[in-house]
Homo-oligomer: A and B are copies of this chain.
Amino acid sequence: MNALLLSNSASDAGYLTHARPWLAEFASTLAGSGPALFVPFAGVTRSWDDYAQQVADALLPAGIATRALHQEADPACALAEARLIVVGGGNTFQLLRELRRRGLLALIAERVRAGHAAYVGWSAGANLASPTICTTNDMPIVDPGGFDALDLLPFQINPHYTNAHPPGHRGETRDQRLAEFCALNPQRMVLALPEGDALRLDARGLALLGPHDAMLFHGGLAPRALAPGKLSLG
């Protein structure tokens, strides 16, 4: 299985710019395989056409040409032929709902798990690669009809990880939220990815990319920092 999961898309450098070397390396293994298929369904407050154009412009310098899933006459057929599936961020609940109501969720999971398609996702697209969307930071603005997701990984991802907290705020911190998840799901690990980091899964194994340590949450254990490089989460 080949997957690249980014915590975030935008940075001071520009849209997806920080991830360009990782994306280019990832794409080089797929050379000559036709355009990637972009899934824009996490977008809520802008049109999917605009979103797809922004992503197409951002991925081209990494050597990735894209088509947009919502513009395909036969989305299932397009997915069945795609060698690279790219799932953008936005709202995780909306993303999952749109894929489920179109009957495309299982199809994506099968293609990627079988190694027939590679997977790139950021933010909501990284949540979607997890067993469930239970560790998203997003607001549950629509009911996705169940929280089960692509289940490409044996652990959960929490993107945009930070434990910073606005002064005077009385809501839960991120660490408290993740501790709640772990209390109800003690067997399930959560890998929290700070802004700028990514996770790469390929024949070489699992690697943490980027400048920051990630944080591993598991059951009642104290969160553990993991340095960039090869990861073993056993």
A35-78 vs B, Cβ < 8 Å mask (1 yes, 0 no): 00000000011000000000000000000000000000000000
Verify if A172 is at the interface (C-beta below 8 Å from B). yes
- Please give, as numbers and ranges, the residues of chain B lying within 8 Å of A172 by CB-CB distance: 138-139
Asked if B141 and A139 sit within 8 Å, CB to CB, the answer is: no
* Contact among B137, B141, B177, B181 for A184, CB-based, below 8 A: B141
Within the complex, the shortest CB–CB distance from A92 to chain B, in Å, comes to 9
C-alpha gap A195/B143 in the complex (Å): 27
Verify if A185 is at the interface (C-beta below 8 Å from B). yes
Asked if A146 and B147 sit within 8 Å, CB to CB, the answer is: no
Asked if A183 and B139 sit within 8 Å, CB to CB, the answer is: no
- Please give, as numbers and ranges, the residues of chain B lying within 8 Å of A169 by CB-CB distance: 160, 162, 164, 195
Q: Which of A6-14, A108-116, A198-206, A221-229 contacts B (4 or more CB under 8 A)?
A: A6-14
**A134-B142, A160-B169 given. 20 additional CB < 8 A pairs?**
A8-B171, A11-B170, A44-B184, A45-B183, A94-B180, A94-B184, A123-B171, A134-B139, A134-B140, A134-B141, A134-B143, A137-B139, A139-B177, A139-B178, A139-B180, A143-B146, A162-B166, A162-B169, A164-B169, A169-B195
A128-168 vs B, Cβ < 8 Å mask (1 yes, 0 no): 00000111111111110011000000000001101011111
Task: With CB as the reference atom, state the residue of chain B lying closest to A46.
Answer: B183
Verify if A179 is at the interface (C-beta below 8 Å from B). yes
Interchain Cβ contacts under 8 Å between A and B, 24 examples: A8-B170, A9-B170, A11-B170, A44-B184, A45-B176, A94-B184, A123-B171, A134-B140, A137-B139, A138-B172, A138-B177, A139-B172, A139-B178, A139-B181, A141-B177, A141-B180, A142-B184, A143-B147, A162-B168, A162-B169, A164-B169, A166-B166, A168-B195, A170-B195
Verify if A2 is at the interface (C-beta below 8 Å from B). no
Within the complex, the shortest CB–CB distance from A217 to chain B, in Å, comes to 12
* Contact among B123, B141, B183 for A185, CB-based, below 8 A: B141
* Contact among B45, B146, B166, B180 for A44, CB-based, below 8 A: B180
* Contact among B134, B140, B166 for A136, CB-based, below 8 A: B140
